[in-house]
Amino acid sequence: EIVLTQSPATLSLSPGERATLSCRASQSVSSYLAWYQQKPGQAPRLLIYDTFARATGIPARFSGSGSGTDFTLSISSLEPEDFAVYYCQQRSGNWWTFGQGTKVEIK
C-alpha cells in the first residue's frame, strides 16, 4: 500500500500570499496524483488530476506539479474562499489512498 504524507499539517497565511502544499508518496505513483479541496460542511471538490490538469471550473491560480514521489499544489495568490483543507490522492493498481490533509488557515 502506498502511503501519502502531506506537509505541513497546517499552513497559516494571509490573503494574497502564495501557498505551497506538499504531498510525498512512500513509493512512485507515476502521474496519477490528484488534489481536492474541502470546506467545512461540504463534500470534497476535485481541483487537480493527473498531477497537472485543472478540473473543470478551477481557477488558474491553482496549479499542480511533481513526479515520482514528490508532488506540490500551489495557490499563487490566496483568495478568501481558498481557506480550506486540501487532500492529495493516488491510485496504484486497484487501490486508492488519500493523504491526511493540509489545512490552509487565515493568519
Partner 1 sequence: EVQLLESGGDLVQPGGSLRLSCAPSGFTFSDYAMSWVRQAPGKGLEWVSTVDNSGRHTYYSDSVKGRFILSRDNSRNTLYLQMNGLRADDTALYYCANQRPGSSNFDSWGQGTLVTVSS
Residue 67, C-beta contacts closer than 8 angstroms, at least 6 positions apart = 31, 51
How many residues belong to the site for partner 1 (CB under 8 A)?
Answer: 24
Q: How far is the CB of 34 from partner 1 (least distance, A)?
A: 4
Q: How far is the CB of 3 from partner 1 (least distance, A)?
A: 13
User: For the CA atoms of 6, 53, 61, 100, what is the dihedral angle to 10 degrees?
Assistant: -20
The reply to whether 99 sits near partner 1 by the rule CB under 8 A is yes
Alpha carbon distances (Å) from 71 to 24, 67, 77: 6, 6, 19
The reply to whether 96 sits near partner 1 by the rule CB under 8 A is yes
Residues that bind partner 1 (CB under 8 A): 32, 34, 36, 38, 42-46, 49-50, 55, 87, 89-91, 94-101
